[in-house]
Amino acid sequence: MKVAMEIENAVGANATVENVLSGQRFERAPFDCLVTLLSTGSAAGLREELNVGGRSATPRMVVNAQNRSPVVPDDVRLAEVECLAGELIQLTVANTTAGALTYRARVELEEAQRV
């Protein structure tokens, strides 16, 4: 099974959104899964960081400025990060500019195969 969350979030000037996934249906993994992150921004100046189950999956990374919805494979930022059922998926976004920017992301959760 595969599920996804799509996010479009305005990030104010010099602001940080601690978790753009807050309130999303799959903010906590519904099953053991592999997490894939795709993202874009409306302009240069956005930074993102993914944490899964309290573990840092990425350092703070620069978001590309494609100004469109993320597409595969061009905008895949991180693929196949292990996540256990019930763990929190936290995606932090920071705007380093003097104007508001739009952040777009798609977070896919693919059920892990048991061996």
Using one digit for the tens of pLDDT, what is the confidence trace for 31-57?
A: 999 999 999 999 999 999 999 999 999
pLDDT number for residue 115 = 53
Average the pLDDT over 78-91 and give the result: 97
In 1-115, where do the E strands start and end?
2-11, 16-17, 33-41, 46-52, 55-56, 61-62, 76-83, 89-95, 101-111
% residues pLDDT > 70 (the chain): 98
Measured CA to CA, the distance from residue 105 to residue 115 in angstroms comes to 31
**Domains in the chain, ordered, with CATH?**
2-111 (2.60.120.380)
Is the separation of the CB atoms in 91 and 48 below 8 Å?
yes
Amino acid at 59: P
Other Cβ atoms less than 10 A from the Cβ of 81: the count is 18
